[in-house]
């Protein structure tokens, strides 16, 4: 350990997980509150990850010393068969993918796709929503988010039938590993529930994606798959293209539909906030199809979405593995250990957030950013691995919410408190249903 470093405080965590087995997120919340912004170690028996929450320390790990904190170990290793050598890996493979993909997701490029996206979204809402019929909130949002992203990525190179096969396979792939996420020290040779479903889901994904790559080799296009095929004409082969497509697909659909699932229970829980959102959508959009021209005027909706990502950041847990020993916030961190970052916890630190438990879009009123630590709010991560999809999400979320609200009023069927569920993203509970009533 470096001379200037102190040993971290270790807090018992397995017992906490047991006590909160229904809502493991609460175990983490408790530990975060106990840490009070200091780097601590979570004692899970043989596995003792460091927990980093303070914005200065987040900056250190994600930006200042980023190459020392790689995507490996907890969470990443179990998902490796899904994500392969892609934009969601690290080191040279990651840098290579980032160089190819980044230009496709700049604000300029995304704006150019936006009108098309608005049209597809409006048609989907029109054709998929059955007024008055209850549906599962997460599935319903997936059904609106997933086809739009798939069309942007694959253009016309994928059939509707294949789109319908991809969505459930993805859902299984990211939720089946929930147990390994909380039991990361169980060796891979020891089967856990969910492992078989995970392998089956990967087979389905491969059966859909590889033929699309083959088609893209023979057809022109401006979609993500065509660009990947052109960029990797001479290197890497189909496997690397498949890895990037699968990683991009996972990074975009799951996070976006999870975020959209929180919209409805949150509006219902805060009628005064909902009234402001409804008033704004009525005033700005009226009964026209929502288009890009409306977006700059949906100011309160934008603030609402920012607050939604503060309270329910879909990418709630970012684990990294240290390459070399380091000192974070005065605490010595050993080489090869797991460091867990969580925007969910940073977004609740009372030192940086007034009334952190209160849902208040007003915090994101224009000018508010200037008073905040840059790393107090990071739903899209930060540093070299910062989310590529921020601009896409900033357009897509209001298009979807306003597109629904101009036609319908949501009613969520609540029979218990809404608490997050454990998956690789922060999801609403299983079986939460809602209806959309015609206005």
- Residue of the chain from 13, 50, 69, 105 that contacts ligand HEM (CB under 6 A): 105
Span 45-74, contacts to ligand HEM by CB under 6 A: 71
| Residue 184 binds ligand HEM, judged by CB under 6 A | no
| Residue 83 binds ligand HEM, judged by CB under 6 A | no
Question: Cβ 394 to ligand HEM, closest distance in Å?
Answer: 9
Helix, strand, coil proportions of the chain in percent (round to 5)? 55, 10, 35
- Residue of the chain from 118, 141, 311, 381 that contacts ligand HEM (CB under 6 A): 381
Q: How far apart are alpha carbons 399 and 115 in whole angstroms?
A: 10
Q: Which residue is nearest to ligand HEM (CB)?
A: 389
Span 302-321, contacts to ligand HEM by CB under 6 A: 313-315, 318
Q: How many residues bind ligand HEM (CB under 6 A)?
A: 24
| Residue 393 binds ligand HEM, judged by CB under 6 A | yes
Sheet architecture: strand order including 135-136: 135-136, 433-438, 408-413
Long-range interactions of 180-185: CB distance < 8 A, separation 24+:
180/78, 181/74, 181/75, 181/78, 181/317, 181/422, 181/424, 182/17, 182/24, 182/422, 184/47, 184/73, 184/74, 184/75, 184/77, 184/78, 184/338, 185/44, 185/45, 185/46, 185/47
| Residue 379 binds ligand HEM, judged by CB under 6 A | yes
Q: How far apart are alpha carbons 42 and 69 in whole angstroms?
A: 18
Residues 181, 165 contacting (CB under 8 angstroms): no
Quick one: tokens of 141?
């949002």
Decide: residue 199, CB within 10 A, 0-12 exposed, 13-18 middle, 19+ buried.
Answer: middle
Residue closer to ligand HEM, measured from CB, 256 or 322: 256
Written as one string, the DSSP assignment of 268-293 is: HH-HHHHHHHHHHHHHHTTTSPP-GG
| Residue 84 binds ligand HEM, judged by CB under 6 A | no
Residue closer to ligand HEM, measured from CB, 16 or 167: 167
Show the DSSP H helices in 223-326 as ranges. 224-231, 237-249, 255-269, 271-284, 299-311
Residues 6+ apart with CB under 8 A from 261: 137, 138, 141, 427, 428, 432
- Residue of the chain from 211, 221, 356, 389 that contacts ligand HEM (CB under 6 A): 389
| Range in contact with ligand HEM (rule: CB under 6 A) among 253-261, 347-355, 367-375, 414-422 | 253-261
| Residue 429 binds ligand HEM, judged by CB under 6 A | no
| Residue 98 binds ligand HEM, judged by CB under 6 A | yes
Residue closer to ligand HEM, measured from CB, 252 or 435: 252
Report the length, in residues, of the chain: 439
Residue closer to ligand HEM, measured from CB, 169 or 259: 259
Q: How far apart are alpha carbons 296 and 302 in whole angstroms?
A: 9
Per the DSSP assignment, residues forming a β-bridge with 40 are 9, 51
Question: Cβ 382 to ligand HEM, closest distance in Å?
Answer: 9
| Stretch 143-182: interaction string toward ligand HEM, x if CB under 6 A | ----------------------------------------
- Residue of the chain from 138, 175, 255, 338 that contacts ligand HEM (CB under 6 A): 255
Question: Cβ 317 to ligand HEM, closest distance in Å?
Answer: 9
| Stretch 269-288: interaction string toward ligand HEM, x if CB under 6 A | --------------------
Show the DSSP H helices in 155-254 as ranges. 160-175, 178-182, 195-218, 224-231, 237-249
Question: Cβ 392 to ligand HEM, closest distance in Å?
Answer: 4
| Residue 380 binds ligand HEM, judged by CB under 6 A | yes
| Residue 256 binds ligand HEM, judged by CB under 6 A | yes
Nearest to 337 by CA among 185, 180, 221, 224: 185
Residues 147, 124 contacting (CB under 8 angstroms): yes
Question: Cβ 423 to ligand HEM, closest distance in Å?
Answer: 14
Question: Cβ 134 to ligand HEM, closest distance in Å?
Answer: 25
Q: How far apart are alpha carbons 397 and 83 in whole angstroms?
A: 25
Residue closer to ligand HEM, measured from CB, 194 or 315: 315
Residue closer to ligand HEM, measured from CB, 368 or 384: 384
| Residue 248 binds ligand HEM, judged by CB under 6 A | yes
What is the contact surface with ligand HEM in residues (CB under 6 A)? Answer: 71, 87-88, 98, 105, 248, 251-252, 255-256, 259, 313-315, 318, 379-381, 385, 387-389, 392-393
């Amino acid at each position: 350990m470096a001379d200037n470093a102190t040993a971290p405080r270790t807090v018992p965590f397995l017992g906490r997980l047991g006590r909160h087995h229904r809502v493991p997120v609460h175990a983490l919340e408790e530990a975060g509150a106990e840490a009070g912004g200091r780097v601590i170690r979570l004692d899970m028996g043989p596995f003792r990850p460091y927990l980093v929450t303070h914005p200065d320390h987040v900056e250190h790990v994600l930006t200042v010393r980023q190459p020392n904190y790689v995507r490996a170990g907890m969470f990443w290793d179990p998902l490796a068969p899904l994500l392969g050598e892609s934009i969601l890996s690290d080191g040279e493979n990651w840098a290579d993918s980032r160089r190819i993909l980044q230009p496709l997701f700049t604000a300029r490029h995304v704006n150019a796709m936006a009108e098309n996206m608005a049209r597809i979204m409006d048609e989907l809402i029109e054709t998929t929503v059955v007024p008055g019929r209850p549906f599962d909130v997460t599935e319903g949002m997936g059904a609106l988010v997933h086809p739009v992203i798939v069309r942007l990525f694959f253009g016309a190179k994928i059939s509707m039938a294949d789109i319908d096969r991809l969505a459930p396979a993805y859902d299984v792939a990211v939720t089946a590993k929930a147990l390994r996420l909380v039991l990361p020290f169980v060796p891979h040779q020891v089967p856990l529930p969910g492992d078989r479903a995970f392998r089956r889901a990967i087979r389905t994904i491969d059966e859909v994606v590889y033929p699309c790559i083959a088609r893209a080799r023979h057809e022109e296009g401006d979609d993500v798959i065509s660009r990947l095929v052109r960029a990797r004409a001479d290197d890497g082969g189909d496997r690397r293209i498949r890895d990037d497509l699968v990683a991009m697909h996972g990074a975009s659909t799951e996070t976006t539909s999870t975020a959209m699932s929180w919209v409805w229970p949150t509006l219902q829980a805060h009628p005064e906030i909902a009234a402001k959102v409804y008033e704004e959508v009525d005033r700005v959009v009226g009964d026209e199809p929502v288009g890009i021209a409306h977006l700059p005027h949906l100011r309160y909706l934008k603030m609402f979405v920012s607050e939604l990502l503060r309270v329910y950041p879909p990418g709630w847990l970012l684990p990294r593995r240290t390459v070399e020993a380091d000192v974070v916030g005065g605490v010595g961190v050993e080489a090869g250990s797991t460091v867990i970052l969580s925007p969910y916890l940073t977004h609740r630190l009372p030192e940086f957030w007034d009334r952190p438990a209160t849902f208040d879009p007003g915090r994101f009123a224009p000018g508010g950013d200037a008073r905040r630590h840059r790393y107090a709010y990071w739903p899209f991560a930060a540093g070299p691995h910062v989310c590529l999809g921020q601009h896409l999400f900033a357009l897509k979320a209001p298009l979807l919410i306003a597109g629904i609200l101009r036609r319908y009023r949501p009613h969520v069927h609540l029979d218990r408190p809404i608490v997050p569920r454990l998956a690789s993203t922060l999801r609403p509970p299983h079986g939460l249903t809602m209806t959309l009533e015609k206005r």
